[in-house]
Amino acid sequence: MEKTTLKIPNISCGHCVNSIKNELIEIEGIKSVDGDPGDKTVIIEWENPATMDMIKDKLKEINYPAD
């Protein structure tokens, strides 16, 4: 299993974090998503078949691109 913390400048509140969680958890292989609106970060744990590229593509698609 892999784990990463991504900086996402568009996060402004808990609703933003929930939107990200709801979208990312639909990707097969995503195990957990947790976020902090204060730090504008999201911590994601995943395993195959999910990939970092898939995660970043989904974030971009939902208008929360990672730095």
CATH number, domain containing residue 26: 3.30.70.100
Q: What is the pLDDT of residue 44?
A: 98
Q: What is the pLDDT of residue 30?
A: 98
Per-residue pLDDT tens listing for the chain (67 residues) = 999 999 999 999 999 999 999 999 999 999 999 999 999 999 999 999 999 999 999 999 999 999 9
Domain presence at residue 23:
yes
Domain presence at residue 66:
no
Q: What is the pLDDT of residue 38?
A: 95
Q: What is the pLDDT of residue 48?
A: 96
Domain presence at residue 46:
yes
Range of the domain at 14: 2-61
**Strand ordering across the sheet containing 41-46:** 2-7, 41-46, 30-36
Q: How many domains does the chain have?
A: 1
